[in-house]
A and B are shown apart, each in its own frame.
Chain A
Amino acid sequence: MIDYLIGPFQYSFMLRALFVSALVGFLLPVVGAYIITRGRAFMTDALAHSLVAPVAVASLLGFTSYVTAVPGGIAIAMLMGFLSRQTGISDDTSIGVVFAGMFALGLIILSISVDVNPGRAINIEDLLLGQVLGVTQTDVLISLVLTVVVAAGIFLFHRHLVYTTFDPVGARVAGIKTSLVEYLLLALLAVVIVIGLSAAGIVLVMAMLVIPSATAYLLARRFTGVILLGAFLGVVSAVAGLYLSFYANWPSGPAMALVASLIFGVATVHKRAFPVKADE
């Protein structure tokens, strides 16, 4: 049994994968807690798909994807936020327009990069489903730095994020700059999605952001409980998914999302059996 648990980590690539998976499992549900309580899960999915465009640009130019994905992701998130707030078009519609346009643009740039950089272009399957076993030392370092940046942002703005999520009008009247807080959350969301791409891929990064948070929302009574329990369940899902990926030769993203979904299923059954949330 012990051999099964520690065996994979005799390989350095598995140690890197474990580190990044744990980071992703921890960080995505922390930001996810703010996202699901705002009812903005679709924004996450749309933003992840839109990131194909900046990642494809990196592939075309021969850069590591973080170089374009972080600023590109933040810019796209700002654009979605701006369109939602300023055009009078509904949130879903404006997000859907940007999502479709950026995804289409990204796929076209990717196909061009395959012709321009044969052999160096990003594999579309890895991009869509994640390939945490292939992360490099540089990826680990960049993920760590970005995680520190996001954690600092959450720590500093937690109270403002909570107030604007609960009562945006009351928060604005009390003197909180709600637009700034909204854009900050979108920027943080963009960064954590970029971090999550390597582990969960574009298709399933939303799963790692939303499902552990949603599970925690079912079980925890207070918002801090949703954050902490979500982070714990995220790490459990990510690490368990990594083992499945290693031993069953499954793609890492789907394996993690599957574990997270199973935990959500168990929590739902538990919630139906014991509907009162536990006191903290």
Chain B
Amino acid sequence: MNSEPAITATDVTVERDGFRALFNVNFHIGAGNLVGVVGPNGAGKSTLFDAIVGALPLARGTVELHGIDGRPGGLAYVPQRDNINLRFPATVHDVVMMGRYCHVGMFRGVSRRDKEIVRSCLERVGLWERRKALIEENSGGQRQRVFIARALAQEASIVLLDEAFSGVDVGAQEGIIQVLQSLRDEGKVVMLATHDLTNLAERFDQIICINRHICAYGPPAEAFTPEVLEELYGSHGMVLAHTHAGGETHIETHMAHD
């Protein structure tokens, strides 16, 4: 069996209250990929993530997760802000330590090694100095980095982030992308759902454009065509592609808000 992390979705269809929230979704994501899942609100991005993590029954098709079989904590999920109890009195350190819980048995306490792992994860996302701050005292960008650190502490090889850029300013988005790219470089699969990639599209290896089905899947330069953006956002979406002197393509996607 291939021990490298990967996700294979085959003909995935999800129904909610008789409504087809997703249909005919097919893709394969290999190890060491940073994948953006892009689509308008209600396009099924969260539903796709729920299907991947097994939180929703599939009406048809299969999702196979490779390389995490039998290993606790192999899959990590950073939910949308609304699904997290931010009034819970936990510090940044406490939240990252939660990533170790799946490795800590019921009968043993947190070990020195667990604490060292948490420290290294917090240092990696640049939040060790804020370890004593309550989670609610952090900005949106800092919170996302806390949850990424938790996924690191969990030693997950597949990391899903749902609307990770919601309420996060552009500067903080850049910091998050850099951490995610470093995870990708270690061979992990990272999927990030967002309704708007603004000017970060080219930082992803692959883009899945989704609007209840897959409209496009591939490198950003191939996925973001005017036709695809029209399908995603109607006449409000547009793509700006700049080709630099070295032949590198820089892509910006924009949504015109009413």
List residues of chain A with CB under 8 Å of any chain B CB.
37-38, 156-157, 159-160, 162-163, 165-176, 217, 220-223, 225-226, 279
A169 contacts B83, C-beta separation under 8 Å: yes
Q: Give every chain B residue within 8 A of A217 (Cβ-Cβ).
A: 89
Cβ-closest 6 pairs across A and B:
A173-B77, A166-B88, A169-B79, A173-B53, A175-B102, A174-B102
How many Å lie between the Cα of A29 and that of B85 in the bound state?
20
Q: Are the CB atoms of A174 and B154 closer together than 8 Å?
A: yes
- What residue in chain B is nearest A163 (Cβ atoms)? B98
Task: Determine the chain B residues whose CB is within 8 A of the CB of A169 once the complex forms.
Answer: 53, 55, 77, 79, 83
Q: Provide the residues of chain A in CB contact with B77, threshold 8 Å.
A: 169-170, 173-174
A37-B87 contact given A156-B106, A172-B55, A175-B72, CB 8 Å threshold: yes
- CB-CB nearest in chain B for A172: B55
12 extra A-B contacts, CB within 8 A, seeds A37-B87, A172-B55: A156-B106, A163-B98, A163-B101, A166-B84, A167-B84, A173-B76, A173-B160, A174-B75, A174-B77, A220-B89, A221-B134, A222-B94
Contact across chains for A222 and B89 when beta carbons are under 8 A apart: yes
B101 touches A174 (CB 8 A): yes
- Point out the residue from A37, A170, A279 that lies within 8 Å of B88, measured CB to CB: A37
Shortest C-beta distance, B81 to chain A (Å), equals 11
Alpha-carbon separation in the docked complex, A279 to B89 (Å): 12
CB distance from A184 to the nearest CB of B (A): 12
Docked CA distance A176–B73 (Å)? 9
A-binding residues in B (CB < 8 A): 53, 55, 72-73, 75-79, 83-85, 87-91, 94-95, 98-99, 101-102, 104, 106-107, 132, 134, 147, 150, 154, 160
Q: Kindly state the separation between the CA atoms of A159 and B100 in the bound complex, as whole angstroms.
A: 10
Q: Are B75 and A173 in contact (CB under 8 A)?
A: yes
The winner among A159, A162, A163, A170 for most chain B CB atoms within 10 A is A170
Q: Find the A residue at minimum CB distance from B88.
A: A166
Tell me if A170 and B76 are in contact (CB < 8 A).
Answer: yes
Known: A169-B55, A170-B76, A174-B76. A37 touches B98 (CB 8 A): no
What would 23 A/B residue contacts be, using CB atoms closer than 8 Å? A37-B88, A157-B106, A159-B101, A162-B90, A165-B85, A165-B88, A166-B85, A166-B90, A166-B98, A168-B83, A169-B83, A170-B78, A170-B79, A170-B98, A174-B99, A174-B101, A175-B72, A217-B89, A221-B134, A222-B90, A222-B94, A223-B89, A226-B89
How far in angstroms is the closest Cβ of chain B from A251?
A: 34
**A173-B53, A222-B90 are contacts. A167–B98 as well, Cβ < 8 Å?**
yes
Residues on the A chain within 8 Å of B106, using CB: 156-157
- In the complex, chain A residues whose CB is within 8 Å of the CB of B160: 173
Closest chain A residue to B91 by CB distance?
Answer: A222
Q: How far is the CB of A280 from chain B (nearest CB, A)?
A: 9
Q: Which of chain B's residues have a CB closer than 8 A to the CB of A173?
A: 53, 55, 75-77, 160
- Contacting pair B88 A223 (CB below 8 A): yes
> Separation in Å of the B93 CB from the closest CB of chain A?
10
- A171 to B154, alpha carbons, bound, how many Å? 11
- CA gap between A174 and B155 in the complex, in Å: 10
Nearest CB on B from A275, distance (A): 12
With contact pairs A159-B104, A174-B76, A176-B102 given, residues A37 and B91 touching in the complex (Cβ less than 8 Å): no
- From the candidates B73, B79, B83, name the one contacting A175 in the complex (CB within 8 A): B73
Residues of chain B contacted by A167 (CB below 8 angstroms): 79, 83-85, 98
CA distance A188 to B132 in the complex (A): 31
Contacts of B98 in A (CB 8 A): 159, 162-163, 166-167, 170-171, 174
Task: Give the CA-CA distance A172 to B107 in the complex, in Å.
Answer: 20
Min distance, Cβ B149 to any Cβ of chain A, angstroms: 13
In angstroms, Cα B92 to Cα A111, docked, is 54
Residues of B within 8 A of A163 (CB): 98, 101
Set of chain A residues within 8 Å of B73, measured between Cβ atoms: 174-175
Residue of A157, A221, A225 with most partner-chain B CB within 10 A: A221
* Candidates A37, A38, A160, A170; contact of B89 at CB < 8 Å: A37
Enumerate chain B residues within 8 angstroms of A159, measured Cβ to Cβ. Answer: 98, 101, 104
Chain A residues with Cβ under 8 A from B94's Cβ? Answer: 162, 222-223
List of B residues within 8 angstroms of A225 by Cβ: 89
Residues on the B chain within 8 Å of A165, using CB:
85, 88
Expressed in whole angstroms, the Cα–Cα distance for A38 and B87 within the complex equals 10
Give the CA-CA distance A162 to B90 in the complex, in Å.
Answer: 9
B179 to chain A: closest CB distance in Å?
17
Instruction: Kindly report which residue of chain B lies nearest to residue A225, judged by CB atoms.
Output: B89
Q: Determine the distance from Cα of A222 to Cα of B87 in the docked complex, in whole angstroms.
A: 11
Question: Which residue of A38, A171, A175, A217 has the most chain B CB atoms within 10 A of its CB atom?
Answer: A175
Complex Cα spacing A171 to B55, Å: 12
